[in-house]
Amino acid sequence: MKEKIVLITGASSGIGKASALLFLKKGYTVYATAPSTIAMIDLEEKGARILQMDVTNSENCRQVVNRIYKESKRIDILVNNAGFGLYGAIEDVSPEDARQQFEVNLFGLVQLTQMVLPIMRANCEGKIINISSILGRMTLPMGGWYHASKYALEGISDCLRQEVKSFGIKVILINPGVIESDWANIALSKAKENSKNSVYGTMTIQLENLLIKSRKIQVKAEKAAEVIVKASLSNNPKVRYIVPTHAKLIWFLRKLISEKSFDYFKEKLFKFHS
């Protein structure tokens, strides 16, 4: 069996870095990418090939993909992990910031996928693993643009899965819940920047309280990485993997009750109100 080649975006921290480390342990050749390589030096020391890449820069992405192909002649697994949470009331977020949310979380991801697909198709196999979120299956106030980008990613992934199946390529969604990372801090800083001094100021405080409480149920990024590697190793992977247990329970409840009832549940549980 040929050595498997993995390309991971957003590998400087969180799920991306944890996945890179676990793939290395499993003997994969890992190309770890992020807008800056400084936070990936530890990955390089463990054997990863680190590359600077901004998923919103098409020329940068093309250079990276071409380099990997030149060196390895294949890309077996693409882990589309790069992304961030733009938070703030929908009314308060500028169109420019909203577009940037989609550029990173959706358009950049799709653009990179388009570049990798011909390589996978030529080899008649490949796995594209898109890191969505449990918040790509349900919503909370203050995260409208983030939710929208992840809902769109879900739709793109579902279509792509059907389009590339006949070429031996599998598309897999990962829906993480609360994972230990910098995500919450970035989301909260964006929310404060956009809405702390607006009519949604109270809701911004409620979001902060929620994110503080959520730390009690957060799990290590390695838990999500284990699921990603498991999906990569499977000959017949699931369409989606929800991780960890608390995310599975929330999604089960979402399917069980009506949308209005679920809204009421969220309002009471998360204490969101105007």
Tens digit of each residue's pLDDT (9 = 90 or more) over 97-145: 999 999 999 999 999 999 999 999 999 999 999 999 999 999 999 999 9
pLDDT of 263 over the 90 cut: no
Q: What is the mean pLDDT of residues 158-175?
A: 98
Question: Residue written as tokens 């969220």?
Answer: 266
Q: Is 58 a catalytic residue?
A: no
pLDDT at 265: 81
pLDDT of 22 over the 90 cut: yes
**Catalytic pick among 12, 19, 72, 232:** 12
pLDDT band (50, 70, 90) for residue 215: confident
Range of the domain at 265: 5-270
Q: Is 36 a catalytic residue?
A: no
| Beta strand ranges found along the chain (DSSP E) | 5-8, 29-34, 49-52, 77-80, 126-131, 169-176, 240-243
pLDDT of 221 over the 90 cut: yes
pLDDT at 272: 66
pLDDT of 1 over the 60 cut: no
Q: What is the crossing angle of helices 58-72 and 108-122, to 10°?
A: 20
pLDDT at 238: 97
Q: Is 132 a catalytic residue?
A: yes
Q: Is 234 a catalytic residue?
A: no
CATH number at residue 108: 3.40.50.720
**Catalytic pick among 28, 31, 87, 146:** 146
- Number of domains making up the chain: 1
**Catalytic pick among 19, 31, 72, 132:** 132
Tens digit of each residue's pLDDT (9 = 90 or more) over 35-71: 999 999 999 999 999 999 999 999 999 999 999 999 9
pLDDT band (50, 70, 90) for residue 273: low
Q: Which conformational region is residue 77 in: left (phi greater than 0), alpha (psi within -120 to 50 degrees), or beta? A: beta
How many Cβ atoms sit within 10 Å of the Cβ of residue 76?
20
Tens digit of each residue's pLDDT (9 = 90 or more) over 229-253: 999 999 999 999 999 999 999 889 8
pLDDT band (50, 70, 90) for residue 271: confident
**Catalytic pick among 17, 127, 150, 223:** 150
Which among 230, 235, 238, 9 is positioned nearest to 116, based on CA atoms? 9
Tokens of 88: 């703030």
Question: Residue written as tokens 């807008």?
Answer: 35
